A and B are shown apart, each in its own frame.
Chain A
């Protein structure tokens, strides 16, 4: 009797489960849209915030580490002189009081805030700042130091003043100094080696080092001597590794974690249907695009590139890949980036334009080509299939070539592809990080591996880099966006927002367009 009961229970369980899953997946709309983390009442002190994420951090070394899983964590401990504004479009002083710039735009004198201490208790001074920036610059080959390429010298003028001298006028310098790799650490790593220091880094941030069980969780605890009085609100923050997206979803719904980082778009809407969970999107700086290898025919022909750009149904891609959570892209720059020009005449789906451009091209009756994508990426595969279908009526037969992600990256870098899908997000609130990479062959990436070489685009980008006047810079970037829309080195596809799901107990959670999230303002209601 008992054995029968066990068996029947199992079958019943499975059937019930199936029914519940179906019910879950049918759910839609709900709280998926706005709201969520806005403050409800006064902030409450204490509590542990748990964030579930697919991948563990790799290293706490802010100079040598490139993955967001690590960056979003060490940013809570290590602060730079300047930081990004909440809208992600500008910088504001953080450890710096402010700065002045010389008439030739080549010397920046930065005043430091006084009385700021590291979590170790030592005071932060200009000597620490000089050490930190020099250390970053020193690691240009293996780390982020390339961001400091315009810096000639950093001098500690007095205890609270730092002078940064540039090799040439360089407008993005303050944004560069706001990058996490330029965060301030104690001089000479407080007497440790670099490797020893980053086992338990010391910074001026709202949180300090706690514990890291690799592959399981990483915990930071509140810095009780944090210089911004009253903050942080939480006692600790724990990033838990939960590789499976379904499990992350269930954990936030079951109240086991507070925040689900990057839920899948396919389950995003249904996540918000749980009464205790808010699913929210935040504007990002992500641009997904189709790259043309201009080393290969017929992609060296601007008419071919323009024609293909006019054939693609971007709305269909947004619906299939992002389940409607995104917008078709019209420009080289993204809406979350300063100087984005909404009125850029980007090429959108236009049958007449596609036909006329094909007729004017070297291959009016079409051709066979390949589209390179990273294997195992369902979003990229869907995008590729839509593009394949869109191009076929015009006589362009596309073979989709999936390659392992790193092999795919290799092929693009070595220009061994014809068309490829790629994307970009920004790390600093200045477009130069991307435009230098994307349109200037001297930027070290063969114009984002397209071999695009346009004198107009290069001149405009270099003018914008050197221009201190904001209005003139705006004009240069608008022109650059117009030129790149016309010359179509890429077919811009879509702008994707960042997705998060969090418990309704979480307040003050904001993600900047750069993707990072300052946790010092976050609190949890009881």
Chain B
């Protein structure tokens, strides 16, 4: 097994230029956003003199290339700079926010699988039947509803009306995190499940028609044993890739969800930082998200390799 994971160190090395590219693009892109951090900080009533003095103090008058060079040098020393808003190191602020986003994303993946797998099995076990039609319509509804609307509806019903969950927030303990994050994770799961259900259903139908399933059936395999032991294990491989790809989407979705549910994660930090023109924070969050997405990509390949012994990524030309 370990020999088949030889590609991992190479992929990790390749993540370095990716991260570098991200810093380059993000650094120059955020500086293209119209607006001035000093003005954003001082407010609309600030006089030009005060804005100019603050710009000087913040080093914003230096040439952009020089500012980027300083950023890279600091980055190599593990320093992501000072937040313009809070005047404290950005790294600390980001690290405080990472757990909430990470937990939200993982929680969403778990709920997404809990929702998708039974529904996909239900649909694939009777193709063309009522159950199948219902399951194929539900995804369309799920895809059609905007995430923020779903989130607000869930809050209105389960938090305000029934009082089962808190209206936003994150909590203090692990148990509270699970309780507070249930509705936001469910919101994200609802929006992504349709894709997984459709993919899983399609690949299960393909697998069901394969020779080895026919062989298994001829040997007496049936019911739950057939689906879990033979069909699901093989059908799940394409779904793993889709889940992997969509984790990146989930991180993007957390921008909206963290706003709606007042979760102090990277998404809400990103929005807050963009509005305040807090360039160091925007750069740091983007860098973390990029590294996270690259890591998920590698992890997806690892899972893929483990699920299917025929897959060997060590000699892939593009790895």
B-binding residues in A (CB < 8 A): 2-4, 6-8, 10-11, 13-14, 16-18, 20-21, 24, 52, 55-56, 58-59, 66-67, 141-143, 146, 195, 213-216, 240-244, 246-247, 250-251, 253-254, 256, 403-407, 409-410, 413, 422, 424, 437, 444-445
Contact = CB atoms under 8 A, between A and B. Distances in A.
B262 interface: yes
A3 B135 contact: yes
Given A243-B272, A250-B167, A59 B86 contact: yes
Contact of A11 (B49, B53, B131, B141): B141
B157 A254 contact: no
B152 A142 contact: no
B236 interface: no
Question: 8 tightest A-B contacts by CB?
Answer: A406-B35, A17-B153, A407-B34, A404-B34, A242-B262, A3-B122, A216-B264, A66-B43
B166 interface: yes
Given A242-B262, A247-B168, A56 B272 contact: yes
Contacts, number: 161
Contacts of B50: 141-143
Nearest to A52: B262
Contacts of A422: 44
A56 B96 CA distance: 15
19 contacts: A3-B131, A7-B138, A20-B156, A21-B152, A21-B156, A58-B86, A143-B50, A213-B96, A214-B86, A215-B97, A215-B272, A243-B262, A247-B152, A247-B168, A250-B152, A251-B167, A253-B160, A256-B167, A445-B47
A29 to B, nearest CB: 20
A17 B262 contact: no
Contacts of A55: 272
B318 to A, nearest CB: 38
Nearest to B193: A10
B115 A6 contact: yes
Contacts of A7: 119, 134-135, 138
B252 interface: no
Contacts of B48: 413
A17 B150 CA distance: 9
A246 B50 CA distance: 36
B159 interface: yes
A143 B166 CA distance: 40
Contact of A142 (B33, B57, B121, B131): B57
Interface of B: 33-36, 39-50, 53-54, 57, 85-88, 93, 96-97, 115, 118-119, 121-122, 131, 134-135, 138, 141-142, 145, 148, 150, 152-157, 159-161, 163, 166-170, 190, 259-262, 264, 268-269, 271-272, 276-277
Given A216-B264, A406-B35, 16 more contacts: A4-B122, A6-B118, A6-B119, A10-B142, A13-B154, A14-B153, A17-B156, A66-B41, A141-B49, A142-B54, A215-B268, A241-B264, A241-B268, A247-B155, A254-B163, A404-B34
B225 to A, nearest CB: 19
Contact of A14 (B42, B150, B260): B150
B174 to A, nearest CB: 17
Nearest to B265: A215
Contacts of B166: 254, 256
A422 B45 CA distance: 10
A54 to B, nearest CB: 10
A409 B39 contact: yes
B39 A4 contact: no
B157 A406 contact: no
Contacts of A214: 86, 88, 93, 96
A482 to B, nearest CB: 25
Given A59-B86, A141-B49, A409-B39, A4 B134 contact: yes
A407 B35 CA distance: 5
Contact of B47 (A20, A254, A444): A444
Contact of A405 (B35, B86, B93, B157): B35
Contact of B157 (A13, A246, A424): A13
Contacts of B42: 66
A27 to B, nearest CB: 13
A410 B49 contact: no
Contacts of B159: 250, 254
A460 B65 CA distance: 51
A406 B118 contact: no
A5 B184 CA distance: 21
A405 B171 CA distance: 34
A422 B54 CA distance: 23
A2 B47 CA distance: 64
B86 A18 contact: no
B119 A3 contact: yes
A171 to B, nearest CB: 21
Nearest to A412: B44
Contacts of B122: 3-4
B163 to A, nearest CB: 7
A406 B264 contact: no
B167 A247 contact: yes
Nearest to B117: A3
Contacts of B47: 146, 444-445
Contacts of B131: 3-4
A484 B132 CA distance: 73
Contacts of A241: 262, 264, 268
Contacts of B155: 246-247, 250
A214 B83 CA distance: 11
- The winner among A13, A67, A244, A251 for most chain B CB atoms within 10 A is A244
Nearest to B163: A254
B44 to A, nearest CB: 6
Contacts of A403: 34
Contacts of B262: 52, 240-244, 247, 251
A244 B167 CA distance: 11
A250 B119 CA distance: 32
Contacts of B49: 141, 444
Given A4-B122, A20-B156, A242 B168 contact: yes
A413 B44 CA distance: 10
Contacts of A67: 43
A256 B183 CA distance: 16
Contacts of B46: 66
A409 B57 CA distance: 20
A14 B153 CA distance: 7
Contacts of A16: 157
A422 B33 CA distance: 22
B56 to A, nearest CB: 10
A13 B134 contact: no
A445 B46 CA distance: 9
Contacts of A216: 170, 264
Contacts of B35: 404-407, 410
Contact of A250 (B135, B156, B269): B156
A256 B264 contact: no
A436 to B, nearest CB: 12
B186 to A, nearest CB: 9
Contacts of A17: 152-154, 156-157
Contact of A406 (B40, B142, B148, B160): B40
Contacts of B264: 213, 215-216, 241
B57 to A, nearest CB: 7
Nearest to A24: B156
B119 A243 contact: no
